Chains A and B, each alone.
Chain A
């Protein structure tokens, strides 16, 4: 594209119409509401916002949301890699069923997931009753929150890493073996570095999703302030109290986390494209 030209000339028609529809919908549906949130933040003022985010209950909720999302996403990073590897490389009975089921958390409404997990892990539930004799409580504790977030974040790493494993060049692994490397060394030094950008992207997507997750968590969390109260729930509570300023403060903090995640994903992609290129 030449400098100073906003759009490269193209013989194809429909730029005005399609670009117009895109920008109009994007503005009304996404940008305007986000602007309203940011605008409200400006009206409240940074000092005030900072003070509200600093209050104990909000800080506890934000830190819980972030910590639980981090724990769940790390689990999903490891388990997602394992799943993707097994699904692509191994042949076994039921593989297609599991492959299809990976997307269940995308398709199943979060509220449904929430009540289902609670029914299973409540002290009188099928799994809850099994764990109770060992003194392990899942529902209404932070473990329940981790579980719900693991559920909803499960597909992200699998689905970003799977196509990369499919396209791995087997010759490269063979080359490593002919050079004397053990299978473990090959996996660590040759396969893993190739998967790293996709792994990080999937991890960031899962993290962004689980930090903001609401529906599946609130049923199983118990929702005790300072202990099992996640940030999105606190937004809902503040809104119900008509405390819009506090809700805005939490919302902005979470929006900041989302932006940081998006930025991270973009940086990972640029970095991997630059480093690996194509051979």
Chain B
């Protein structure tokens, strides 16, 4: 899906989280929103998902205005920073949740749900954990289950909020590769938020550097490294 963000601004009370920002995300791209905390990157991601609504501006999906579209109707696969798994449900039930929540007419039958869940468990390379509860999983496993749960609804795009933030360094490296592979197999337009410049540079096709509610620079990792557009970008990406 081709995403266009046109002059989006967001205020919380008197506080300005986003100044009008614009951004085009080509279909099938893997994009990083990079910036320190308070830069507005998570707010932008949540606006794409329909979890927040902009104070002004438009969001276009495939050239259709989606600004007022409800979160349910957007079909954005969203992975939360702390995964937000349903802890009273098994891994299987977590992944099947989005399919079972559909209206009866659109809901696949139980056998089909089972097939899809198992396919996703294979995709995240955890075929044997379907009957476990989230509390019985490691951090890395939880992250992958959250990813599988988001993919189960056959999303139009994949949005991830600090997907590696809660993991230790070693697992983080492994899962980075995993996300790249999943992106390449599914071909989904993917946007992830991170404050880690190395992660953004290594993983993304296109990096959007943000600060204080504004976009500082949009570019390929190599361009940002060699031609930083501002002093902020230069210091923030030089680590």
Is any CB of A less than 8 Å from a CB of B in the complex?
Answer: yes
**Interface bits B127-153 vs A (CB < 8 Å: 1, else 0):** 000000111100000100000011011
Question: Which residues of chain A are near B134, meaning CB under 8 Å?
Answer: 279
The verdict on A50 contacting chain B, using a C-beta distance below 8 Å, is: no
Interchain CB contact (< 8 A) of A179 among B98, B136, B142: B98
Question: Which residues of chain B are near A11, meaning CB under 8 Å?
Answer: none
| B97:A171 contact, CB within 8 angstroms | no
**Contacts known (A176-B97, A189-B101); A277 close to B84, Cβ less than 8 A:** no
| A181:B101 contact, CB within 8 angstroms | yes
The verdict on A278 contacting chain B, using a C-beta distance below 8 Å, is: yes
**Contacts known (A172-B84, A180-B72, A181-B72); A277 close to B78, Cβ less than 8 A:** no
Per the 8 Å Cβ criterion, residues 161-192 of A in contact with B are: 169, 171-172, 174-182, 185, 189-190
The verdict on B176 contacting chain A, using a C-beta distance below 8 Å, is: no
Contact residues on B (Cβ < 8 Å of other chain), bracket? 20 to 34
- State the CA gap A39–B51 with chains docked (Å): 64
Question: Which residues of chain A are near B98, meaning CB under 8 Å?
Answer: 179-181
**Interface bits A251-279 vs B (CB < 8 Å: 1, else 0):** 00000000000000000000000011111
Question: Which residues of chain A are near B76, meaning CB under 8 Å?
Answer: 178
| A171:B88 contact, CB within 8 angstroms | no
| B101:A171 contact, CB within 8 angstroms | no
The verdict on B85 contacting chain A, using a C-beta distance below 8 Å, is: yes
- State the CA gap A180–B108 with chains docked (Å): 14
| A179:B149 contact, CB within 8 angstroms | yes
| A172:B86 contact, CB within 8 angstroms | yes
- State the CA gap A185–B103 with chains docked (Å): 11
The verdict on B75 contacting chain A, using a C-beta distance below 8 Å, is: yes
**Interface bits A63-76 vs B (CB < 8 Å: 1, else 0):** 00000000000000
The verdict on A193 contacting chain B, using a C-beta distance below 8 Å, is: yes
Question: Which residues of chain B are near A180, meaning CB under 8 Å?
Answer: 72, 75, 98, 101-102, 153
- State the CA gap A178–B97 with chains docked (Å): 11
The verdict on B71 contacting chain A, using a C-beta distance below 8 Å, is: yes
- State the CA gap A119–B128 with chains docked (Å): 66
Per the 8 Å Cβ criterion, residues 82-116 of B in contact with A are: 82, 84-88, 97-98, 101-102
| A275:B80 contact, CB within 8 angstroms | no
Question: Which residues of chain B are near A194, meaning CB under 8 Å?
Answer: 87-88
Number of interface residues of A (CB under 8 A): 22
**Contacts known (A171-B80, A185-B101, A277-B133); A178 close to B71, Cβ less than 8 A:** yes
Question: Which residues of chain B are near A275, meaning CB under 8 Å?
Answer: 88, 133
Of B50, B97, B102, B133, chain A has the most CB atoms within 10 Å of the CB of B97
**Interface bits A37-62 vs B (CB < 8 Å: 1, else 0):** 00000000000000000000000000
CB distance from B15 to the nearest CB of A (A): 19
- State the CA gap A113–B98 with chains docked (Å): 49
CB distance from A112 to the nearest CB of B (A): 42
Question: Which residues of chain B are near A178, meaning CB under 8 Å?
Answer: 49-51, 71, 74, 76-78, 150
- State the CA gap A225–B84 with chains docked (Å): 56
CB distance from B165 to the nearest CB of A (A): 13
**Contacts known (A181-B97, A279-B134); A175 close to B75, Cβ less than 8 A:** no
| A190:B51 contact, CB within 8 angstroms | no
- State the CA gap A275–B89 with chains docked (Å): 9
**Contacts known (A276-B135, A278-B135, A279-B134); A182 close to B87, Cβ less than 8 A:** no
CB distance from B97 to the nearest CB of A (A): 6
| A174:B51 contact, CB within 8 angstroms | yes
| B153:A179 contact, CB within 8 angstroms | yes
| A279:B85 contact, CB within 8 angstroms | yes
**Residues on A close to B: CB < 8 A?**
169, 171-172, 174-182, 185, 189-190, 193-194, 275-279
Q: A174-B71, A175-B84, A276-B135 are known contacts; what are 7 more A-B pairs with Cβ within 8 Å?
A: A169-B82, A171-B82, A177-B71, A178-B150, A179-B149, A180-B101, A180-B153
